[in-house]
Amino acid sequence: MIKRLSILISLLSIVTAWILSGQVWAIATITETQQQISATATESYPQIALVLTIWLLIILFSRYVKGFFGKFLLSAVTLLLFATVSPVWFDSAAGNVQILSGAITKAVGISDWQAQQELLTKVYYQHTIADFFVIAIIVGLISTLFVVWSGLPKGNASILETRVDRLPKW
């Protein structure tokens, strides 16, 4: 029952993170043309879509992994995926509007961030969406690790079994 609940929490947190990463995180207006530009997390951090896809696959296939080494590997990959998304935490905490850099380059053609900053007015960073994204990722990490490590074999099956253990008893 608890494992099913943690699977549901993991799936909901990953889906929530996916939805929040597709929302607009930063908005600004270009001074000269009065053009409003915006950026989402999936545009600014292209690794997010790949990380969330792999994370979803880990959740779905973790129930088929029974051995200690497999669970260790899934945990290590999950922690590495969590670390891959870590630049978002710092940008979220700082309200870094440099995520608009790609949209500004497309609109104006200037790729230097210092020059781009001089073109912007009315800059707004949506901290709420970014912070909820970080919370969803943290909840997803905790619940995914619980899903991976719950359900260890019970009964007469040992966790660390070798071929020597399966030799016939004479």
> How does pLDDT run along the chain (170 residues), one tens digit per residue?
788 888 999 999 999 999 999 999 888 888 888 888 888 888 888 899 999 999 999 998 888 888 888 899 999 999 999 999 988 888 888 878 888 888 888 887 877 777 877 878 888 888 899 899 999 999 999 999 999 888 655 555 555 667 776 777 76
pLDDT attached to residue 53: 94
Nearest Cα residue to 96 out of 44, 138, 49, 22: 44
pLDDT attached to residue 160: 62
- Residue matched to tokens 């088929």: 64
pLDDT attached to residue 132: 93
pLDDT attached to residue 12: 95
Dihedrals φ, ψ of 129, to 5°? -65, -45
Question: Residue 28: which region, alpha, beta or left (left: phi > 0; alpha: psi -120 to 50)?
Answer: beta
pLDDT attached to residue 161: 63
What are the contacts of 44-53 at 24+ separation with CB within 8 A? 44/99, 44/100, 44/101, 44/102, 45/21, 45/85, 45/87, 45/88, 45/99, 47/84, 47/85, 48/21, 48/85, 48/88, 49/21, 51/81, 51/84, 51/85, 52/14, 52/17, 52/18, 52/21
pLDDT attached to residue 111: 74
Domains and CATH numbers, the chain: 2-152 (1.20.140)
Dihedrals φ, ψ of 24, to 5°? -75, 125
pLDDT attached to residue 163: 72
